[in-house]
Amino acid sequence: HHRDAQGRSAFRVFAPAKSSLAVVLVDSGERFALQPEADGHWQGDLPGLPAGTLYWIEVDGRALLIGQQGETLALLEAPKKAG
């Protein structure tokens, strides 16, 4: 993600075959749904996140990557929830 001209944190992810994407803030658990675009990208703007803020990218209900301001920290597959 990056900061846009208004100081908001802008996210854009290419995931054409997915049905939902969201940004989840690690510390607060807040979840922000991303919106699909016709070209397979998903996008959304959040209030400006402070440097060092950790977040998950949730794909189809599963956390698949963790990042912080301006960089990807790890690709992962979170355990599936029971039930």
**Greater confidence, 9 or 2?**
9
With b for 16 or more beta-carbon neighbours within 10 A and e for fewer, the 51-68 pattern comes to: eebebbbbbeeebbbbbb
pTM of the model: 0.73
Name the residue with tokens 């998903």. 42
Q: In what order do the strands lie in the sheet with 21-25?
A: 31-33, 21-25, 54-59, 62-68, 71-75
Q: pLDDT of 31-80, one tens digit each?
A: 999 999 999 999 999 888 887 888 888 888 887 766 555 555 444 454 44
Residue 10, classed as helix, strand or coil, is strand
Question: Cα 4 from chain centroid?
Answer: 16
